[in-house]
Structure 1
Amino acid sequence: MDRSIPPGRVAGTLTPPCSKSYAQRALAASLLCDGVSTLHNLGFCDDTRSALRCIRALGARVRPTGDASLAVEGGLHPVGRRLPVGESGLATRLFTPIASLCTEPVRIEGEGTLLHRPMGMMVPPLRQLGVRVKERGGHLPFEVCGPMHGGEVTVDGSVSSQFVTGLLLALPRAAGDTTLHVRDAVSTPYLDMTLDTAAHFGVEIFQRDYEEFYIPGAQRYCATELHIEGDWSAAAMLLVAGATAGEVTVTNVPMLSKQGDTAVCTALVRAGAAVINDARSVTAVRRPLRAFEFDATHCPDLFPALAALAAAAEGVSILHGTSRLRHKESDRAEAIREEYGRLGIEVDLPDEDVMTIRGGVIRGGRVHSHGDHRMAMSLAVAALRAEGVVTIEDAECVAKSYPEFFEDLESIRIR
């Protein structure tokens, strides 16, 4: 599906979908409970639906209690031997360790670009923890068969924190205690979200500098009631729209959130935008924008939003952390360079961890999302400042995280 975005100004208030990262963690923890947990403010994007399929496949019973609320009766008893993770990297790395608690073989099956994303980092630690793993060259599908026991194990955290998250949520249910050593942990705010979720469900995990985690075994997850906060990754796109093309207020995004993408507010201020916040909302207002420098190593999902911000700023902005972008839904560094180049914005990758973006006149034109939801949203936001219409190919990929994105953006357009 193509989507054409004309230039224009925006003003209004929007509520982004819930944090899919928190939602998937909460669904996993609910599966591991003995009782019934109630989750509120759920949004049903593709990734959250993948997590729902996973917990049902692993034995949870789920019923709606409202438009955005679910009751989840836990119980880790696989109803088959397939775990369909869809195209969700987090679901894969989160539910593979949980499936490894089971004594029956479970086959982890993915779709689309996920089949090309690296998963081999999971295999040696799982085997050290007693799991039988059948795999092909470090990519899906995998087959795992537990039960996973405790012990001492080292994990490479340099590519993604998601597998560490899966282990942290699964290992409290293992029979023995575990000491988990993590080398070169990245995206540490996501690990904070994992620890926060576990604590909400009554589970204790101890950590030192994100390098060592001690996880007591034989713990019980306690059923709870939880409200899922808004997604700061989605909010970042909306706030950049406000900073570059008018004024946007985003609600249900607490500033004290553990989500790392709250850092977009720092980038906005460095670029010269006005940022106003209270306990549950943030407003970004357009001002003359200047080039800025920002390290997104621990919040790589911000890169597409930051690209739209830098394209509208005067001068050359410098973004650090591009090595984190190679194994996302697309090679996001190359995708940003290629697609913004089509719009007349010069993007360079002078080394493997740096991106420079020379802001200036954004041309209209035809661009491609690369099947990447965040690229589609980024290009749509950039289009607000373009000289002509920007047409985005394969725009329906926004359903992965924010199905209503285009409708929301159109609803605040000034006519």
Structure 2
Amino acid sequence: GQSYKATDYRVEGDYSQAAFFLCADALGNDLLVDDLSMDSLQGDRAVVSILEAMGVSFEKQSNGLIGTATNGLHGTLIDASQCPDIIPVVALTACLSEGKTEIINAGRLRIKECDRLQATASELKKLGADIEELPEGLLIHGVKSLKGKETVWSYKDHRIAMMLAIAATVCEQPITITDAECVSKSYPDFWEDYKAIGGKIQ
């Protein structure tokens, strides 16, 4: 029979969760996102390629990544087929990028915890985004800023709640997110980490 030998193995960080903070960094929050491998085979590592296409340059620092967009962010074409989970927060980033972004092959987002295409478009529109639903994606024209002083809904979907939390960091005024506790489905410590990087919650 086979025999197994115990060994220490380091499990790399999760790009699905890191995507929220990588996008927050791209939007000007100046974050170092720890414990990410540039050689990762995770599908959601695509967030790095997408942000690079939008004008972000990534630099490896210690055990993490930090991005800078020296010349600002610009729109691009995003194929969501292999990375649907990161699309809500990538769409937020596109809302504050110059020019047009089209997200294609995103139809499966309609059958997640909620219809994430509809939820993303609906809630970001409340904040002043120029975003339109397409049958299989989103069409976004960048705006200069997002307003606050609005109540937005997470649709009880963890990824919509986390996307809206990142939106709050770049809104002109605070926003209220209802059903925000749903983040516990995939990231129970999200709000603690959010506060640790300077997010304000009341």
Q: What TM-score, normalized to structure 1?
A: 0.44
| Corresponding residue to 1:339 among 123, 131, 140 | 123
Q: For 2:85, which of 301, 308, 320 is the aligned residue? A: 301
Paired position in structure 2 for 1:376: 161
- Report what 2:26 is aligned to: 243
Question: 1:367 is paired with a residue of what secondary structure?
Answer: strand
Say whether the 8 Å CA contact 1:247–1:286 is kept in structure 2: no
Deviation (angstroms), 1:258: 1.3
Over 6 Å off, 4+ runs: none
Equivalent residues in 2 for 1:236-275 (5 A)? Answer: 236-275=19-58
- 1:307 offset after TM fit, Å? 1.4
Deviations 1:243-294, CA, capped at 9 Å, x for gaps = 1023111111111111111111111111112311268421123541111211
The verdict on how the C-alpha distance between 1:277 and 1:396 changes in structure 2, with shifts beyond 3 A counting, is: same
SS at match of 1:333: helix
1:149-197, Cα deviation, whole Å (9 max, x unpaired):
xxxxxxxxxxxxxxxxxxxxxxxxxxxxxxxxxxxxxxxxxxxxxxxxx
Instruction: Give the superposition deviation at 1:296.
Output: 1.6
CA-to-partner distance for each residue in 1:117-136, whole Å, 9 max, x for gaps? xxxxxxxxxxxxxxxxxxxx
More strand by percentage: 1
Shift of residue 321, structure 1, vs aligned partner: 2.0
Q: Residue 221 and residue 414 in structure 1: after superposition, are their counterparts in 2 closer, same or farther (change >3 A)? A: same
Partner Cα separation in structure 2 for residue 220 and residue 320 of structure 1: 47
**What is the CA distance between 1:238 and its match in structure 2?**
0.3
Aligned ranges 1:35-184 → 2 under 5 Å: none
State the SS of the aligned residue for 1:413: coil
**Which residue among 389, 406, 414 is the counterpart of 2:191?**
406
> Deviation digits for residues 63-84 of structure 1, max 9, x if unmatched?
xxxxxxxxxxxxxxxxxxxxxx
Query: Which SS does the other structure have where 1:349 is aligned?
Result: strand
> CA offsets, 1:185-229, max 9 Å, x none?
xxxxxxxxxxxxxxxxxxxxxxxxxxxxxxxxxx98968654322
Aligned to 1:284: 67
CA contact (8 A) 1:245 1:384 kept: no
Q: Distance in 1 between matches of 2:122 and 2:35?
A: 34
**Aligned residue type for 1:274:** S
Q: Aligned-pair distance for 1:314?
A: 1.6
**Structure 2 partner of 1:63:** none
Where does 1:213-224 land on structure 2 (aligned, <5 Å)?
A: none
Equivalent in 217, 234, 237 of residue 17 of structure 2: 234
Listed as ranges, the gaps of 5+ residues in structure 1 are 1-218
Q: Match of 1:349? A: 133
User: 3-state SS of the aligned residue for 1:330?
Assistant: coil
> Quick check: 2:169–2:199 contact (8 Å CA) kept in 1?
no
Asked whether the equivalents of residues 15 and 36 of structure 2 are also in contact (C-alpha less than 8 Å), the reply is yes
Paired residue secondary structure (1:326): helix
Distance in 1 (CA, whole Å) between partners of 2:3 and 2:103 is 40
Query: Equivalents in 1 of 2:174, 2:146: separation in Å?
Result: 10
SS in 2 for 1:319: strand
**Paired position in structure 2 for 1:321:** 105
Name the SS of the counterpart of 1:227 in structure 2.
Answer: coil
Give me the TM-score of the superposition, normalised by structure 2: 0.88
Deviations 1:313-371 (A, max 9, x none): 12221111221201111110111111111111122123x22311222121111100011
- Contact between 1:312 and 1:385, CA under 8 Å: does it hold in 2? no
RMSD: 2.3
Secondary structure of 2:20's aligned partner = helix
- How many positions carry a matched residue from both structures? 196
> Contact between 1:254 and 1:279, CA under 8 Å: does it hold in 2?
no
| 1:113 corresponding residue in structure 2 | none
**Structure exhibiting the larger radius of gyration computed from Cα positions:** 1
Unaligned runs of 5+ in 2: none
SS in 1 for 2:160: helix
Distance 1:250 1:327, change over 3 A: same
